[in-house]
Amino acid sequence: MNTKTSFKSGFVAIVGAPNVGKSTLLNQLLGQKVAITSEKAQTTRNRILGVAHLPQAQLIFLDTPGIHRAKGPLNVRIVDVALKVLGAADLVLFIADAASPDKAADQIILQSLKKKNLPVVLAINKVDLVKKRKLLPLMDRWRNAYPFKAIVPISALERIQMDELLAEMVAVLPEGPKYYPDDSVTDMPERFIAAEMIREKVFRLTGEEIPYAVAVTVESFKERPEKNLIDIQATIHVERESQKPIIIGKGGGMLKRIGTHAREEIEHMVGCKVFLTLWVRVQKNWTRDTGAIRRFGY
């Protein structure tokens, strides 16, 4: 009798409307931060790969930007990235918002899933924000909308039903090899994640004053092993002259706060001291310039 348990592996595309908690969920499933988070929608702009290692399975997550009705070259590019990820997936993890559903975006996603005919697990997120009596009717509505392999109510922020969600996904995945070594968490280079961490701090610290016309490029990422130090020089790009003083702040105070918060998080990621230098540059109307969008990595 063969008692050996088969190993499962596969690529899991995380899709959902903007601001449903996809990046928070990815970070929770991986046990560490690879995707930036913010209360503002459309924080994620690139596909980010993260690897979860379980005793009998390896799940390779493809995080995607929030799918929505896109207007303007940047948003069209963002949604295009999200939909293309579906073509590389063995399984789709669809995240829905229990508290504030975006019905229009959810319908766009459902239409795309029906065309692809892929297995889908639905995670209904933010259940900690809704009353239990409202949850069962919500699950029934989703059950009638698509033949999901499983529907799991979760809270990514509170880590509710994370293990149950992982188990449902593993059940659907095919048998396969380990695609990545046990110590791999993401395929994104450290300089990319550093840029994303800086951009997250801009989102979190500048409130509603700064729109999504912010990009960050890392101009220099130099490791100095003799000093146990990494020297990073990065530029925060904004669209208009009026946005520059908001990022810099009175006496450079806001830019210093952004730099301090970002540096601390980057140090946690790289495991050594970081010397971070930030500049602010105006790149007029870059979100409508396809050349600039490409240069900034979107």
Q: What is the pLDDT of residue 41?
A: 44
Q: What is the pLDDT of residue 145?
A: 93
Q: What is the pLDDT of residue 69?
A: 46
Quick check: 63 and 50 in contact, CB under 8 A?
A: yes
The mean pLDDT of 175-188, rounded to a whole number, is 79
Q: Tell me the pTM.
A: 0.62
Domain range annotation of the chain: 8-172, 190-295
- The single-letter code of the amino acid at 115 is K
Quick check: 16 and 96 in contact, CB under 8 A?
A: yes
Tens-digit pLDDT profile for residues 26-60: 888 887 655 545 444 444 445 557 888 899 999 98
Q: Tell me: pLDDT of 184 over 80.
A: no
Q: What is the pLDDT of residue 66?
A: 55
- CATH class of the structural domain 190-295: alpha beta
Q: Tell me: pLDDT of 22 over 60.
A: yes
Tens-digit pLDDT profile for residues 198-251: 888 888 888 665 656 788 888 888 888 888 888 989 999 988 888 899 999 999
**Starting from the edge strand earliest in sequence, which strands make up the sheet with 91-97, in order?**
48-54, 57-63, 8-16, 91-97, 120-125, 150-153
- The single-letter code of the amino acid at 109 is I
Domain 8-172, what architecture? 3-Layer(aba) Sandwich (3.40)
Q: What is the pLDDT of residue 236?
A: 92
Q: What is the pLDDT of residue 43?
A: 45
Tens-digit pLDDT profile for residues 61-91: 887 765 544 455 555 555 566 566 677 789 9
pLDDT band at 7 (very low <50, low <70, confident <90, very high): very high
Which tokens is 45 given? 């702009």
**H-run or E-run covering 53:** strand 48-54
Q: What is the pLDDT of residue 74?
A: 52
pLDDT band at 276 (very low <50, low <70, confident <90, very high): very high
Q: What is the pLDDT of residue 2?
A: 43
Q: What is the pLDDT of residue 42?
A: 44
